[in-house]
Amino acid sequence: MNNVFQIKKDICDIGRRLYNKGFAAANDGNISVRIGENEVLCTPTMHSKGFLKPDDICTIDMTGKQIAGRKKRSSEALLHLEIYKRRSDVKSVVHCHPPHATAFAVAREPIPQCVLPEVEVFLGDVPITKYETPGGQEFADTVIPFVDKTNVIILANHGTVSYGEDVERAYWWTEILDAYCRILMLARGLGRVHYFPEDKERELLELKRKWGFTDPRLTKEYENCDICANDIFRDSWRETGVERRAFDPPPQMAPSSAASSDNAPATSPSADDVTEQLIQQITDRVLAALQTQSV
């Protein structure tokens, strides 16, 4: 039998961690735990997640109707319920606005793969939804194409939602994702991101299989895909507005160097080329002026 009071305390603890990490400013974010076939504990609306008490947690049914609690339920509870309806193994959902991951949500930049081993094992490919106004069923429906293939989703122009078998595990995925997004930004600021090769990625996937983690790239449907190229959710990019802009694609996706130069697209000159051309132009002008004076 569920110890409901202890679960409420666990929700409050995760709320404090979200707030202290800067993942939920002011009254942002919401947390839920499913405690029965038709009962879900849920954080209240307009309440800082850093200062929750067990008595603040309300109870809703699987339609979103509040059935217990002195404070009104979160307005985004329908998002949580949609995940529970489609994943019977999920017992907790955490939604918040971690700054670095949310930056990718705002930029609609896909999360690069084949960069950090831990991320490949624990997260895999991370999708970005299309944008909908938060709070309603249309917003909740944006996760439907992705919910069965991942445990963490980036919500376009909004934040993240992650889920698992308990509230601690549901929170973990968000913390791992935001730390990874921060590392990507720092590395990009230093110059570029280096990817490890596909054979090393397949070694990680085998470890993932042995450790009991699921990943779409381990199924026959994707066994021949470019596993470093965000292939799992690429078909959704057109509808969601996702596009690579900040990060170069992995080497496996780069155009072949053996391609005919006649068919190669024109490229912009580098800064060094421009500088060299400018110096040559100045030199030519100086020499021409000297020749004119000598005459």
Q: What is the pLDDT of residues 214-245, one digit of tens each?
A: 899 999 888 788 889 999 999 999 999 999 99
For residue 282, what pLDDT is reported?
60
Token pair listed for 265: 């697209």
- Kindly tell me the burial class for residue 18, based on how many C-beta atoms sit within 10 Å of its own C-beta (0-12, 13-18, 19 or more): buried
Q: Which residues face 161 on adjacent strands?
A: 95, 153
* Residues annotated catalytic, as ranges: 76
For residue 36, what pLDDT is reported?
96
| Domain range enclosing 103 | 4-190
CATH number at residue 171: 3.40.225.10
Looking at per-residue confidence, does 99 or 251 come out higher? 99
Q: Give the global pTM.
A: 0.84
Residue 280 lies in a domain: no
Nearest to 71 by CA among 82, 60, 62, 80: 60
Q: What is the dihedral of CA 145, 151, 155, 156, to 10 degrees?
A: -70
For residue 259, what pLDDT is reported?
36
Residue 225 lies in a domain: no
Q: Are residues 26 and 32 in contact, defined by beta-carbon separation less than 8 angstroms? A: no
| Torsion sign over Cα 86, 90, 94, 98 | negative
Residue 253 lies in a domain: no
Token pair listed for 137: 């069923």
Residue 116 lies in a domain: yes
- CA pair distance 23, 10, nearest whole angstrom: 17
- CA pair distance 33, 213, nearest whole angstrom: 22
Residue 294 pLDDT exceeds 70:
no
Structural domain tally of the chain? 1
Token pair listed for 214: 């699921």
- Which string of DSSP letters, residue by residue, matches 249-272? PPGGGSPPTTS-TTTSPP-PPPHH
For residue 220, what pLDDT is reported?
87
Residue 21 lies in a domain: yes
- CA pair distance 196, 113, nearest whole angstrom: 9
Residue 172 lies in a domain: yes
Amino acid 56 reads D
Q: What is the CA radius of gyration of the chain?
A: 25
Token pair listed for 225: 């895909």
Q: What is the pLDDT of residues 104-118, one digit of tens each?
A: 999 999 999 999 999
In the chain, the percentage of residues whose pLDDT exceeds 90 is: 78
Residue 271 lies in a domain: no
Mean per-residue pLDDT of the chain: 89
What 130-136 contacts at long range (C-beta under 8 Å, 24+ apart), as own/partner pairs, is: 130/156, 130/236, 130/239, 130/240, 130/241, 131/156, 131/157, 131/158, 131/240, 131/241, 134/75, 134/76, 134/158, 135/75, 135/76, 135/78, 136/78
Q: Are residues 96 and 18 in contact, defined by beta-carbon separation less than 8 angstroms? A: yes
Residue 278 lies in a domain: no
Nearest to 111 by CA among 170, 182, 201, 199: 182
- CA pair distance 22, 49, nearest whole angstrom: 11
